[in-house]
Structure 1
Amino acid sequence: MSDDHVYLSLAEGHEDGGDARWAFGTGFEDPLYGVDTAVPEGIDTAEFAAACVALGDDALVSAQRLAEWCTRAPELEEEVALANIGLDLLGQARLLYSRAGQVDGSGRGEDAYAYFRDPEEFRNVRLAELPCGDFAFSVVRLLVLSAWRLAVFQELSVRVQDPVLSAVAAKGVKELAYHRQYAAEWTVRLGDGTDESRRRMRAALEQVAPYLDELLVSAPGFGIDAASVRNEVTAVLDQVLDAALLALPAVEPLPGAGRDGDRTEHLAPLLAELQSVARALPDATW
């Protein structure tokens, strides 16, 4: 199977987004223009806000890791692509944090969530906070996280009661379709490449595999069925890895969950760098 067959198949259902190879988050269209921002009746506001923050944390931490590839990517084109993906995720985090502050009644803005919480308060999945490693690891992690997040956002865009989150998810679907396609392209290229690139991809899969259960077993919140997300993600990974002549290794799942507050040793240094300026100048405006 050629690379293009994989990408075209994965892009099915996203034709309305235009060119799936572009980072859609760089546009200027406001996804909330004309959307009713009133909180719908019947929503458990505390639970809803917590789920928004968790998805925002996933995006913020992932964006920070992707930013670490600036000046370090294998080629300038890949540096730009990874930076654009990171900016997409940063935009998603901002919208999710803002909605959480509206829904929970606290009025907290996006900066309060991003810069003025300690590591133990974050609820991102642990895979997002692992160090970048080599390019193969970052590609595999991006494939897994983008495939999972796309499946979640597809559900959110049509099932969630909140029109704001539905609009945020609809915009995110276009962005995440590109993220997944980009990662799939590199997975096939490296997996079906040289002996060295294949070795590195296999090593990356060994590193990522223990964190898969955290994504695929727990419900993502908002009433979304975990089984539907799991089936979608598993099908995508099987398709891409088969084309790449790779396979997920059989490993023991890592106990615990980032959603429950379990953290790796890597999050605190990441946040220290991310939050340093805001905490040094807490009253500054930007």
Structure 2
Amino acid sequence: MSNEDLHAHHDDTRWAFGTGFTDPLHGMDQAVPDGVDAGALAACCLALGDDALVSAQRLAEWCTRAPELEEELALANIGLDLLGQARLLYARTGRADGTGRGEDAYAYFRDVADFRNVRLAELPNGDFAFTITRLLVLSTWRLALFEALTTAPDPVLAAIAAKSVKELAYHRRYAAEWTIRLGDGTTESRRRVEVALNTVGPWLQELLTDRTAAPLGAAVAHRTRSELAEVLRSAGVDDAQIGLHNAAPVAALAGSGRDGVHTEHLAPLLAELQSVARAHPSATW
């Protein structure tokens, strides 16, 4: 299955809003190929889908709050891209894990401990500099990972990755341009970027040691480090502030988001996200 196949079934430009079709993988051959570990495939898709869903929800919180209308629209559109990626990945999860569950089951009817997102995605937005810094880190890492996944042995995951790469390249470019603008701007904007880097830094290790798509981890970590370092140098920021070369693990919370261990911030985020679906579980619109 190719990236073109994925696009061919979804020519409704409104699809990220949930209109136009029910199953985002409708019409595709969704059988898990011989030689592919279905359990590992499902775990990979679920984790990456959770990263996207939680990140999208955080970005949605900037609606009506961004510093300018242009940035509000940009952040909202990035969130919609991630929401679309989550839909595809959840749909693939439901076929790979053998349950046949739809995307809503994964997004709305799981509890905190069942989510497998990296914890950086769930932290509160903070100020604009923090949101941009987090977006830079997550999109740089996710782009490196998804480019590697374009050659995944599962053709559906490979097609999802190929489609997502184009979106993630824009996400990274947007965040990089703003990081450079803030780092090379006023004394205050530079200070805010440095504070954001210090906040993000301890959570970077969870990304750099992620084995969701093993054995891609080492190559993805190397590319993530080098590309982040390049952006931070252009912004005039010392990359030691984020610990790119010796990222320290988070001391405040053992375990990993991949194991269902989360910060106190995920529960209220999910409560808001899931409230309508749980209040009306059989509703359609």
TM-score (normalizing by structure 2): 0.87
Once the two structures are TM-superposed, the CA of residue 257 in structure 1 deviates from its matched residue by 1.2
Once the two structures are TM-superposed, the CA of residue 256 in structure 1 deviates from its matched residue by 2.4
Q: Structure 1, unaligned stretches of length 5 or more? A: 1-24
Which structure ranks higher in relative contact order (CA pairs < 8 Å, sequence separation ≥ 6)? 1
Amino acid at match of 2:62: W
1:244 is aligned to: 235
Amino acid at match of 1:263: H
Once the two structures are TM-superposed, the CA of residue 151 in structure 1 deviates from its matched residue by 0.6
1:205 is aligned to: 197
Q: Percent identity?
A: 67
Whole-angstrom distance in 1 between the partners of 2:96 and 2:64: 39
Once the two structures are TM-superposed, the CA of residue 226 in structure 1 deviates from its matched residue by 1.1
Q: Superposition pairs for residues 260-279 of structure 1, below 5 Å?
A: 260-279=259-278
Matched, 1:183 2:182: no
2:141 is aligned to: 148
Taking structure 1 as reference, are residues 239 and 141 closer, same or farther at Cα in structure 2, changes over 3 Å only?
same
Instruction: Determine which of 233, 242, 252 is the counterpart of 2:224.
Output: 233
Secondary structure of the residue aligned to 1:253 is coil
Taking structure 1 as reference, are residues 280 and 28 closer, same or farther at Cα in structure 2, changes over 3 Å only?
closer
Instruction: Determine which of 28, 39, 52 is the counterpart of 2:45.
Output: 52
2:85 is aligned to: 92
1:14 is aligned to: none
Whole-angstrom distance in 1 between the partners of 2:167 and 2:128: 21
Decide whether the 8 Å contact of 1:155 with 1:224 is kept in 2.
Answer: no
Q: Superposition pairs for residues 51-200 of structure 1, below 5 Å?
A: 51-158=44-151, 160-200=152-192
Secondary structure of the residue aligned to 2:153 is coil
Decide whether the 8 Å contact of 1:52 with 1:99 is kept in 2.
Answer: yes
Taking structure 1 as reference, are residues 163 and 35 closer, same or farther at Cα in structure 2, changes over 3 Å only?
farther
Decide whether the 8 Å contact of 1:209 with 1:253 is kept in 2.
Answer: no
The count of residues paired between Structure 1 and Structure 2 equals 260
Once the two structures are TM-superposed, the CA of residue 27 in structure 1 deviates from its matched residue by 7.4
Decide whether the 8 Å contact of 1:26 with 1:84 is kept in 2.
Answer: no
1:7 is aligned to: none
Whole-angstrom distance in 1 between the partners of 2:117 and 2:208: 14
Task: Give the superposed CA RMSD.
Answer: 1.9
Moved more, 251-260 or 184-193: 251-260
Taking structure 1 as reference, are residues 70 and 28 closer, same or farther at Cα in structure 2, changes over 3 Å only?
closer
TM-score (normalizing by structure 1): 0.87
